[in-house]
Structure formats: C-alpha cells, structure tokens
Structure 1
C-alpha cells in the first residue's frame, strides 16, 4: 500500500489484496469505479474512457460505469471469462462517520452468475470441480453445480473419460488444485479455469466442510461410500469456493446427489458432434439439431432437463421402459396430454425462482411469478388424475398445491408491484395497518399540496404560479421574475433561477415533512415486510425445488409425447438383446426440412448373424444420413422417446461411436487423415460387443491402397475382435467382398437410377454392393465446368477399359499392384504361371531357372 494513498484508495487496495484475480467494481456514489490495473484492463475490454483520479501526490488510472448499467457490462466480462468483485457501500453515507464502509457483496464469475440477463434459460450453467491423486492419473472426483437451480451432483470418472464427461456438461468454470496449473486439462473447452490451494481439495477437510454446510453428522445419507474420498474432495472444494463467491451465504444449494457409473451412456465428442444432438457441426446454435426438433417443453426447466436426458441415454432396459410407458400414456390420451400442457403453460422457471428466494435475491415481481407458477400445480394434479403409468403416477403424487406459500405471497404483495423494491407500492393495501395509516397520511399531504397551486393562484393573483418538487430542494412555489413583486410576505425565498424565484411557506414546509417523513417510513416498513415474507418463503425452498423437479420431468414426458403425435413417431421395443431392427426409419431432423412425402424411409437390421453392414453407393445418395438416423433412433429409444420409424426393435447399446465426415486440426498439427485415424483408434479401443459403431469413409485421406488396407483391417477387427454392431459406409467397393470370408458381414447399397447421362438418387437401401460411385456425375451436379466433366468422363472410360483388358488377360500395366482379395480381380501373368506349377515335380535347378523367369516377367 502506498504511504500517500488517499483513504478511498487505501480501502480499494485492501479489497484488491483479498481478490487479486478479480476486477474490483468499487461503488462510489452512482458509479462503479475501476482503479489502477483494473481500470487499464477494463477500459480495453469494455471500451471505457480511461482517465485518472487524484491519489495524494500521484494520479491513479480510473474508468467507471453507471450503477444502473452494471448488468450490461457484467455480461460482456463474463463472456470474456473474467471474475468481477462487486464492492458496495454497506452503510448509509448520511450516517457514516468519515469514509463510507465498503465490502464485497458478490463475486460474479462464469460459473457463479445469477442474473437472468446473463443466462440462457434453456440450458444449465455449471460450475465444476475436479479432484484426484495427481493430474493425468487414475480416477478423479467430479462435482457439478448449477448455482441458479441449486443442482449439485458428484461422480467418479476415469481420467481418460473426463474429457467426454466435461464435454457433455460444458461447465462455464472449472475449479482445480493449484498444482495442476501447469498441466493441460483435457476437455476443458471454453471453461474458465480457476485454481485454488491444494488444501482446499484435501478429502478429509472437504468432507468436514460438507457436513458443516449441510448440517449432517456424515455423508453416508447422501450416498457417499468409503472409497469416495475424491468425490468428497471435489464436492467439498466446490462448496468452500461458494463461500468465496457468495460472501453473504448461499441457501439454495441442494444436498449432493451421487451418480454411479452404469446407469447412463457416456457420449464422446465425436458422437455428440456428428449426430448434432444439441449443437450443429458448424457450432451455430440449436437450429438443425435433435434438441431443436424435440424441445416442445413448456417451461425453461423442462428444456434444461430434456437437454440432460438427450446427453445421457439410459443403459438399463427397465429404466427405459418406465419412460416409454409414461410417454406412451400421454401419447395415447390426447385429453390428458393437452390438459397437462395447458397447465404447464403458465409455469415460470420454478427452479431459478426458488434459488433467488433462498438467496434473498427475489424481486417483488419474481415473488408474484413464483405464486402464479405454483397456482398451476393444482390443475396439473387434476389433469394427471387418470394416469396409470408408474412414472407419471409417482411424479403426480410428488406434487403439492402449496396453498400456504401462494396464500402468503398473494396476501402480502400487490398484484401491480413494481420491478424493484425501492420504487414503493410493493405491499398490498390492507395487509398491514401501520403501513396503511402511513400511506393515508402521505396521500392526504400530497392531495393538499396538489390543491395548493389553485389556492395560491387565487390568493396571490399570480396566474403563472406553479407548485413543483425537486429531490434536492423538496416542494416549492415558483414565480417568474416579472411577477416577483406580487409575492406575499409569508413567502420565503428557497432558490433563485435565471428567470424565476422559488419559495416556500411555513404551511408548505409542514405538509412537505408529513409527505417525506411518511415516504421514508413507508419505504422502510415495506422493505421489512417484504424481507420477512421472503425469509418465510425461503424456509420452504426445498419443497418448491421438489415440485420443480417433478414439473420439469412431466414437462419433458409431455413434450416427447407431443412430438411423437405431431411427427408420427412410434414406440420402440427395447430390451437387453443384441438385435437392432428398424423398419421405415427416418432422420428426425432432416425430415423436418423437407415435405414429409419427400423423405425416403429405410430398413436396417443387424443381429448376431449379420452384425457388420458394408454400405456402398454414390456421393449424395444418403449414406451419411442413413448412418446418422440409425444412431439417432437408437439414442432416442434409450432416452425413452418414441422414434421416427414404422417400427423399431432396439437392443440396448452401451456406447454409440460415430466417425463421419472429414476434418483437420491445424492447431495441433494434425492432418485430416491423422484426425480420422485418431477417431478410429478411439472407437477400436473403446467399443465392446454391446456397442453401435457407425463409420463413414475410413481411409480416404491417404493413397488408395493404404486407405483400403486400413479400412479392411478396421472392418476385420470390428468383426473378429470387437463384435459390435457396425455400419460402414464406404466407396471402397473392394470391401463388399469381405462377406465371402467374414460370416457376419452383409452388403447393402443405396439405389441409383441412370437416365441417359443423368442420375436419380432413389435414397433407398437395397441388398448387395454398388459397383460405381458416380463421382463424375456428382461433380457435374456440383457445377464443375463442362470441359472438366467431359475430360473426367474420358479419363474414367480409359481407366475402365484398361481394367477390363487386364481382367481378360491383356498386357499388364507396369504399375499394377496385387489386390488384397485373391489378386483383386486383376490376375497377373506371374501369378497365373505360379498356379500351374507343381512344386513336387520341380528339381532345384529347374526351380532356380523358373524363379529367374518369374522375376523377369514380374518386372515387365
């Protein structure tokens, strides 16, 4: 601290020392000021004017924003991944002795955001913490909290699986031990990395922090077991960190929920990206995603839960059946489904409203929104009365009308209450006798003052006399300079303006004091009454959160049923078997972008006897669409949704692996082929006999023979070693011959019809392999110059003629290579001669002569 700092700057430096990694928004009157290094950084990030402030014998860099504009600037800083400490004045300047006391009242970080303006209502905003023995080794504990909904979950994660789990939840902020700072955390994505001392992640200390915070003797009641030390470490560190970002306390956090492996599928980044579940391949929002098609939820918390369900398909058939039964009942009963959705239509974001109440942040209108949302619960219970599906019945029975909470809010808060408490008019008339009396006094004084202008004009004869009010000078009588000589003797000068004089009278002063005194007491009493109401409702937050959970689940089930009705989805048969059979399957997203009759459905069947499908056909014929639609139908079935097909039978898969399309990673120095091989390697190492593998164009990023070799070996490995259900879309027509020696391989192709020089894509799967890729025709459709297309046809014709000639035994091509399958269909003369030799009838000398001849012949 500089010795010549002013008292204000000394106060700022004390705050900055406690929060060195945050920008300090320091309240000075009606502005939040940034000083010194914060001012320099803030001016660059926010485009603020950088000035300076006198600081003793020096000047301190200064930048500031109006208090009312805080949210707009916070949104930008959170987008930059910055931490902001809000340092407010915590005492009344009028009562302060010396410098007004200030303190950090809130930390705003990417993972600790509460303002609706900074959040997406339809997705969670996670703060995550990771703890383990050492970075990069063994299992770790992962804790995930959404502070806006109170959700807190913990799970054990293998280090190699951590990137996929983090990618699914996409936390906005990651809390990590300080010693991991030099270790690149895989899967962190765009998360802001926050490091704290390793002591915060000590399992014993963290467990003690959890028991203290949740006021329990031990963690066994929450599902923690003896080997869960790293789960407790991550969760305890996260809760401790909350004490830093919420100094005033945080009452909305729910007890931790332990998630065990084996209940939900882990979707890797390739699958999430290639199937475009919640984000398109271009990464431009939800348009064109499965989530966009399915999200008919009526509430924000329903949308958030649907997103979580899509990213965590179930692994146990009985769990899937419970959801399917629930969706099925709402699908079959139109009246029940409509009544449920009508009731849900008036429900606001109960989860986030409950947390705001618990944290003491709820505004008067948010309290009214809470009451209005709870008023929709009784109609929802009534709509679900006929329900028989076990999941629907359990959710219905977990709802409660909460008449006590609604009654308390409605009795206290005026239906026309303003946005903020400070504007007045928050408490309903008739709720509190003292408040009503104060309002009567104020209103009487205001009425008297309102009549004063007419009275004084008549008494003084000054027709231009006006009665006005100023926040600084209070009520006044204003007379123009030209009329000042007619002012009565009982007028006392209050303020002089350029063209007028302002006065007051003793009587006006008396009534002014009545008005202002009443206003002050009204404001104070309203604040106290509203705070008491909010505290009373805060005590019931766990009840509200339970209802919110049930409402969200019912919303998702009703939304899935609505989608099934509108889009003609059917209930899949789901069991623990191996077989996958889809009849009339459709791509749920692609079919929304074209007339229903234009989309061509297809059948797919994979079982023990035919578990690997080699799918050939031209570009643009629909191979990739078929791959993706199979993956989406299986995923939807295991989410518990109906599926776009005439019929579907799905044996539960443990993982869905996809490798579709070409991409590179220039930042890491990886070519398209290297990325493709990395993805393929991950599939071959991770797939099991219970997996579904969807491959598109393996090996196309290198030479033909290299690529064909890799594609063949990959297919053999999947068939012989892994045993997974596999669909392999390829232009390597040579792969279609694998069915001759691999019992589980079947060939299918996408049908094409040739009309003259044109081709028509029929987009229908038919048994057997394709013998052409129609690349030249597709190039013409893409708009290549006619001269290029004509030359390509000529070259293609020459190559085909040469291949046919070689097949008939003509002159060999000097560049000819041996094929992979019995000569590849192009017999070499040397090979033919070898076939005619009987080794038992050849002498050693003849063998040497024969070998020399074969070498000469092989060299052409």
Structure 2
C-alpha cells in the first residue's frame, strides 16, 4: 500500500516494525494488542485466532489479528514456545490526552532465551547462550535472566561448544560472528536453536571482570548488549560474570549425561527415572535448580566434596533438627525470581508478602543450624542473612489482604502513613456523613422519600420526584432534570463530596506512590537477597542429600589417591528405586591399582549395562558430595567420565549408530587421561563381525597401552577374553547364569573370569519368538559352532590362522619341550609329568 494512503496509526506501526523485523510486533490499541500484515497471518495460524482485516472496503485490506491485553501472556508464551520473538509496543500516554496519534514504544522484546514470565517450571533454568570465536578458540557465555546467573568460558573446538550448549539446554543462541554454512546447519537445523546475531559489545565495568581473557570479555559483552537491547531497562539483579573452565568439574559430554539419565530419562524425556528424580527431596525452587546444577557439574576438588559430605553426615546424625529444617524450608519462596521481578519492575504486593515470609523463616533456619554447633556449618550460617530491616519494612507496610493489582488501593496497612490514614478516615466516615445529611434534610423538608444518590456524571445529589418539587428547600440548587424527577445539590453536600472524592483519588495515588517507594527500597537489597538465596539453596540440597541417604540406605564414600576402585555391594540407585530393593541384585566392583580394564562378557539382558552405569552413578554421586548406594566405597577422584552405552542413530545429521559409536569412542580416546573413567558397551557391533572385533581389540589395546584409564568394556565377542593373557592390566569378568534342563536364568551377578558362551537364543525365547523359529536357530548355531571348530584346526598359509588372534604360546608345552628326558630318572620323569598335568 502506498505510504500516503496509510493512516498515522498504521504508519507508526510500520516505523516500529522496521526496527524489529524478526519479531512478532504486538501493537497496543486500546484493550487489544493488534498484529498486522504478515505477522497477523502467521499469528492467526499459530495461535488459532481469527484473522480479519483493516479497511475492509479498500482495494488491498490490511490483514489484522488481535488478542486482549489482559490475557496476552498466554499468547506470548505460545509464540515463544514455538521458537519466535515477540516485541511488545505499549501506549506511552493516555489516549484521551493525546494530541494526534497516541505515542507508542516497544517496551520489551521477549525471546526464547529471555522469557521471564512464562509457564516454565520455576525449578528449571532458562539459559540464553552467546558464542564467539577468535583464532579457532570459542568463547561461550550464558545467562539466566530470571536468576541473574552469568558465566563465561573458553572452549577449544566447535564440537565442544555444541556440547556445552546442549548441556545448558539452550533454545536461543546469540552469535557474535558470521557462521560457516556447516556450523549454521548444525546449530539451526540439528540443534533447533533460534540464532540471534549481535555485533556490538556492552562494556559494563560492574558486570564484566577485568581478569577475563579478551575473548571471554568479548562474548560476555555481546551477550549483555543483546539482553539490554531486548529488555530495554536496567537489570539490577544480573550477577557479575564468573569465568569457569570445563576442567573445573567432572567432565561429561552431553552424550554421557544423556546415556546415564542424569537429569531426564533419555527414553521418555521426563524427569521420572533419572538421577535428578531420585535425588530431588528439595523443598524450594532455588534448591531444585541448584541440585540440577550439582548433578550436571560434580566436583573434582576433594576439600569441597568433603565439606558437603561433612554437612550431610551432620544432618543424618540429627534427625529431629533435619526435620525442623525441612519444615522451615517449605515456607521459603523463590528469592532469585522475586529479586528479578523487582529488577524488571513487575513486583506486586503478593511478591513482597512472600519475600517477607521467607525472610521471617531465615532466623529459624539459622537457629536450627546454630543449635548443631558444628564448625562444618559455620560458613553456611554466616551467609544466612535475615535482612531483618527489609522484613520489618514489608511487614509494617503491606496489608496481608492486599490485591495483586497495584492501582486498586488497599495495599498499605493503616498506621504506616498519616496522610493515607486521614484519607481513609474521610472515606470511612464520609458514608455516615452522607447518611446524617440525608436524614437531616428529609426531616427539615418534610419530603419523606428524599435520598442522596451518586453517579459519575452528577456526583452526589438529592433525588426528588416531581410530586415533591413544591417542598424543595431554597438552599437546594438544581443539578439535573429527568422525566419524573430532578437532582439537587447543596453547599454542604458539595463540601462532603469534595472531601470524599479527593480522599478517594488521592488515597489511591498515594498508595501507589508508597508501594513504588517500598519497591525501590527492596531493589537496594537485590545482591543480599541473591546471596541469601544461594545459601538457602545449599542448605536445601544438603538436607535433601541426607534424606535420600537415609531413605535409600546410602553410605559415605572415601577417596583415595591410589588408582583403585573398591565398591562393596554397589547398586544402581535409580534402577533399584524403580524395581524395588527386594528385586535388585547388588554387585561389588573391584579394580586394583595394577588393573585398569574389566572386560565384561555375558548374555544380553543380563545386567552388563546396569553394572557399568552403577559405577558411573556412584562416582557422580560421590563427587557431588552425596552419599552413595553401596555397603562401602573407596574410589579416586576422577577428572572425566566417557561413555558409549546404548545404540542410537542421529538421523537428523545423517549419522548411523556405528558412526555415532565411533565418534563417541574417538572423543574418549582423544580426551581421556589416566584419571578418567571409560565405559564402553558392546563397541563394534554396528559393523561386520571381524571388523567390529578388530576395532574392539584395537581400542582396548590403545586404552591399555596409551591411556591407562579405569575402563569397563562390555562385549559379546568372546574371543576378546584371550586378551587377559597378553594385557597385564586387563581382567575378565562375566555375568553369571544358571542353566538347568535347557532353561537359562540370568543371575545379574558379576563374577570373575570370562563367560563360557552366549545366550542370544534364550533372550529371543524370553521375547516370545515362535518355538519352531527358535528350534531352527539353535540348529543353525550348532552347525556354525561345529564348522568354526573344524576351521580353527586347519592352517592356511604358513604362520597364519583363520582366527583373528595370533596363536598364543602354551606354558605347559614350553615346559614339556624343555625337559631333558635322557638325563632324568623314572621318578623325576613321573614327578615332572604330574606337575605338567597339574598345570593343565
């Protein structure tokens, strides 16, 4: 449509929209937010709202859709959930007083990474991530706009950056550089991230640490600039950026965390069935978020781990105090979110009342901890700042029955402000003044039905019917004439009306001003509130650790500087919780200093994967500072866990199971150290048998010769068990089975030595395959085994065998060949023969 034909309002819309081309523009017009043009067409489809048009009779009507302003949040949530941005343009002046078109401005841009008012559970963080690159090093910064958390790190590769973005479960990525086509494919298509370019840097000296590297400063500054560009306000609750390194915590990539079901069940995507689900006995939203963070980032610093363990032990030993603590924490609201609402200018009276109740619980929580009188709690107690002056201010000012809206009055307590009390007295007594005046004039005028009424147009007035007009006193003056009656006023009524209306208007305005002053005062305490929130969250998580330890019969692990693992009757806590303690079979795990690799053989479905995951769970829990599921545990501090457990294609990126398997194996081989833990399950099964077997053996040998990491390697290649003879740091274990009358029972028990055979056909039987099919499979298996035995005896070319593995020397044959029979007595010969038989 030509520019000159547009109304001033539509021209204003287009001018604002030009600044936000990548966002839906919600344009406030009266009681609705309107969308126009392409925005209206797309929003109508996504939100399932009516699509109409502006200027319907014009040659080119403008598509239009709208949502009521009072219920706009649910529509904004839907657009954000679908991965879009929303710019909200508000009316910046009263339309009644506006000259010409009403002034409008965008007051906030809401994006998937910056949403603060949503239906998202308070227990989850919503991280906005920024990525930049400098000389092949990647800078990554992330922020939770609700809690104010702000962190930055440097990463060595794009793959590592993608892994960290996945770990943070980000939905939006702020980009500080121009992506290569392949990178854009990964981030946008495979990882489904909303990409938001940001070139400018906001150099905030209060939030950006001077110790940051140039790259970290750059990416953190771009993230800050993007946040301020979208939020369009000062955000007092943002914390000073903290630099961290992946190596500061137990290193686990996204695939490892997913395969171990740490924060969600990989199969269902739900919390149930994850370690997070098992451990979440927290009482506060802050504690739940911190628990999730601790699970994602277990410690590698022994002193920090022991500090947590000491407090858990203390809570376990003091049952009644721990129960009181849990009850007190139930009254604690989400201080981090309350602080952010203050910063965003969205605090309502209910928020302040929740804040006061939380602060009121702090002395009780602190008192419980002080009663335990233990040095381990001293640091934590000192951080429990009750901020009593703020609690007193809110308790003294805000009415417990205050409404949510801050413009309706009845927010401030009587007695807090003298002027407000005076207005309230007038409003309260004005009703009786009106009643007294009405009675007096009725009696003096002898008009029996004389009464005082009120409407917005005429104010207070005496209502007199036409039949009584002759009795109207001379001091009455006419205000309005109706068909059957007239309305009159008096000087006394006008005076009362003036006082009442002034009190009503000014009291509402004064209450609003008082509330805004209190909100400003609360803003001065944001940093102290955030520090208190962190302390309360730590108390909450540690009491949860103690409760879980008690309920699930966990023990305190000990750490050793030696490279050994001693776990007595260990358990996989989540599997045990799901199955029930009566059904779960514990397993001990032992790897001595000179034994680094356990080769695990045994049938499928017998528990090899659970055994491996059990070790990972125990390590993660131990390094979180939690107790662990076993009767006794002694382990070293691990620097990383690498896993390849379970099969999964990555169809989006076109990678087969085998390719994913090899990539994850390569990551472990490239990054693991002698202090790492490696868990490989059935590696090599995605290709031909000999290919897979060759790769599996080569990987085992590489770990043995070049890495020396503690490794559990589950395999169905029985031929690999021969490696125990050539690799001194490898030992065979197997899953025990009970076979009787052709029926096989999996005992789920790990024992020393290799498995004697596979039980694939028995698993197929359990799965319910047809009986005749199983009989045929058993016959084919027998034929194959007989053929293999025949082939293994036949030499091919000199010095080679059909077996994948080189022929091993036999010590008995070597001893026999060394015997000097010509110089032995018959007794010596018989003794030597007996020794050889014993060796066999």
TM range (shorter): 0.7 to 0.9
1:484-518 Cα shifts (integer Å, max 9, x gaps): 9878688977899xxxx998553788866655543
Structure 2 residue aligned with 1:788: 773
The answer for the alignment partner of 1:701 in structure 2 is 686
From the superposition, tell whether residues 155 and 810 of structure 1 become closer, same or farther in structure 2 (CA, over 3 Å).
closer
Aligned equivalent of 1:846: none
Query: 2: CA distance between counterparts of 1:657 and 1:494?
Result: 89
Q: CA deviation at 1:801?
A: 4.1
Equivalent in 805, 812, 820 of residue 821 of structure 1: 805
Conserved? CA contact 2:234–2:343, under 8 Å: no
- Kept after mapping to 1: 8 A contact 2:132/2:177: no
Aligned to 2:44: 43
1:524 partnered with 2:509:
yes
In structure 2, the residue matched to 1:732 is: 717
Aligned to 1:118, the other structure's residue is in SS state: coil
* Contact 2:187–2:193, Cα closer than 8 Å, also in 1: no
**Among 204, 214, 233, the residue aligned to 1:210:** 204
Task: Give me the whole-angstrom Cα distance separating, in 1, the residues matched to 2:278 and 2:739.
Answer: 35
Determine the C-alpha separation between the residues in 2 that align with 1:687 and 1:100: 64
CA distance in 2, matches of 1:634, 1:411: 50
Question: How many Å separate the matches in 2 of 1:605 and 1:109?
Answer: 51
Q: CA RMSD in A?
A: 3.2
Question: Is 2:88 aligned against 1:100?
Answer: no
Which deviations, in whole Å up to 9, do the C-alpha atoms of 1:44-102 show, x marking residues without a partner?
22112111123998532211000111110111111112111111112222332232221
SS in structure 1 of the partner of residue 652 of structure 2: helix
Work out whether residues 130 and 142 of structure 1, in 8 Å CA contact, stay in contact via their aligned partners in 2.
yes
Distance 2:46 2:356 in 1: 40
Q: What is the match of residue 832 of structure 1?
A: none
In 1, Cα distance between the equivalents of 2:636 and 2:54?
71
Secondary structure in 1 matching 2:183: coil
Mean Cα displacement is larger for which, 287-296 or 45-54? 45-54
Q: Any conservation in 1 of the 2:556–2:628 contact (CA below 8 Å)?
A: yes
Quote how far apart the aligned CAs of 1:368 are: 0.5
The alpha-carbon distance between structure 1 residues 569 and 37, as it changes in their structure 2 partners (threshold 3 A), is same
- Of residues 699, 703, 717, the one that matches 2:702 is 717
CA distance in 2, matches of 1:583, 1:128: 42
SS in 1 for 2:674: coil
Please identify, of 183-192 and 526-535, the stretch whose mean Cα deviation from structure 2 is larger: 183-192
Residue aligning to 2:619: 634
SS in structure 2 opposite 1:546?
helix
How far has the Cα of 1:590 moved from its partner? 0.6
Within a 5 Å distance, the mapping from 1:346-745 to structure 2 comes to 346-387=331-372, 392-446=377-431, 505-506=488-489, 515-745=500-730
The alpha-carbon deviation at position 423 of structure 1 amounts to 2.9
Q: For 1:805-836, what per-residue CA distance to the aligned partner results, in whole angstroms no more than 9, with x for missing partners? A: 666x6999xxx9811224699xxxxxxxxxx9
C-alpha distance in 2, partners of 1:30/1:39? Answer: 17
For residues 102-181 of structure 1, the aligned pairs below 5 Å read 102-115=104-117, 117-133=118-134, 138-159=136-157, 160-177=159-176, 179-180=178-179
The answer as to whether partners of 1:317 and 1:576 remain within 8 angstroms in 2 is no
Change (3 A) 1:95 1:609: same
Say if 1:312 and 1:223 are closer, same or farther in 2 by CA, change over 3 A: farther
Change (3 A) 1:184 1:803: closer
- Specify whether residues 454 and 759 from structure 1 end up closer, same or farther in structure 2 by C-alpha distance, changes over 3 A only: farther
Partners in 2 of 1:9 and 1:66 — Cα distance? Answer: 19
For 1:320 and 1:418, the matched residues in 2 are separated by 46
Aligned partner (choices 724, 740, 753) of residue 755 of structure 1: 740
Q: Which residue pairs with 2:72 in the alignment?
A: 70
1:298 is matched with which residue: 283, 291, 294? 283
What's the secondary structure of 1:171's corresponding residue? coil
Question: SS where residue 72 of structure 1 aligns?
Answer: helix
1:851 is matched with none
Conserved 8 A contact 1:413-1:427 = yes
1:58–1:805 distance in 2 versus 1, CA, 3 Å: closer
1:472 & 1:610 partners in 2: Cα distance? 93
CA contact 1:577–1:652 (8 Å) conserved in 2: no
* TM-superposed deviation, 1:19: 1.9
> What does residue 268 of structure 1 align with?
253
Q: Deviations over 1:665-698 (max 9, x none)?
A: 2232222222222222222222221110101111
Question: In structure 2, the residue corresponding to 1:34 is in which secondary structure?
Answer: strand
User: Alpha-carbon deviation of 1:367?
Assistant: 0.5
SS in structure 1 at match of 2:33:
strand
Contact 1:24 1:85 in 2 (8 A): yes
C-alpha separation between the residues in 2 aligned to 1:785 and 1:820?
Answer: 34
Cα 1:797/1:178, change in 2 over 3 Å: closer
SS state of the match for residue 97, structure 1? coil
Q: In 2, distance between residues paired with 1:131 and 1:778?
A: 51
Question: Mind listing any 5+ residue stretches in structure 1 that lack a counterpart?
Answer: 826-835, 837-860
Deviation at 1:477, TM superposition (A): 10
Gaps of 5+ in 2: 473-477, 810-816, 818-840
What TM-score does the superposition give when structure 2 sets the normalisation length? 0.88
Q: State the alpha-carbon separation in 2 of the partners of residues 735 and 532 from structure 1.
A: 75
Who is 1:334 aligned against? 319
Contact 1:477 1:504 (C-alpha < 8 Å) held by counterparts: yes
2:838 is aligned to: none
Q: Distance in 2 between matches of 1:447 and 1:592?
A: 68
Match of 1:180, SS state, is coil
Aligned with 2:305 (options 292, 295, 320):
320
Structure 1 residue 261: Cα displacement: 4.9
Q: How many residues align?
A: 791
Corresponding residue SS for 2:72: helix
Instruction: Kindly indicate whether the alpha-carbon contact (under 8 Å) linking 1:337 and 1:558 is maintained by their aligned counterparts in 2.
Output: yes
**Cross-structure match for 2:830:** none
Q: 1:769 to 1:389 in 2, by over 3 A?
A: farther
Could you say what secondary structure the match of 1:435 adopts?
A: helix
Normalised to the residue count of structure 1, the TM-score between the two structures is 0.86
- Report what 2:211 is aligned to: 224
Deviates more, 1:570-579 or 1:705-714: 570-579
Deviations 1:223-242 (A, max 9, x none): 615xx011111111122222
In 1, are the aligned partners of 2:466 and 2:486 still within 8 Å (CA)? no
Q: Distance in 2 between the 1:513 and 1:42 partners?
A: 49
Q: Mean alpha-carbon deviation: is it higher for 727-736 or for 122-131?
A: 122-131
Structure 2 CA distance for aligned equivalents of residues 29 and 512 of structure 1:
31
The answer to whether the 8 A contact 1:297-1:555 is kept is: yes
Please say if residues 442 and 515 of structure 1, whose CA atoms lie closer than 8 Å, have aligned partners that are also in contact: yes
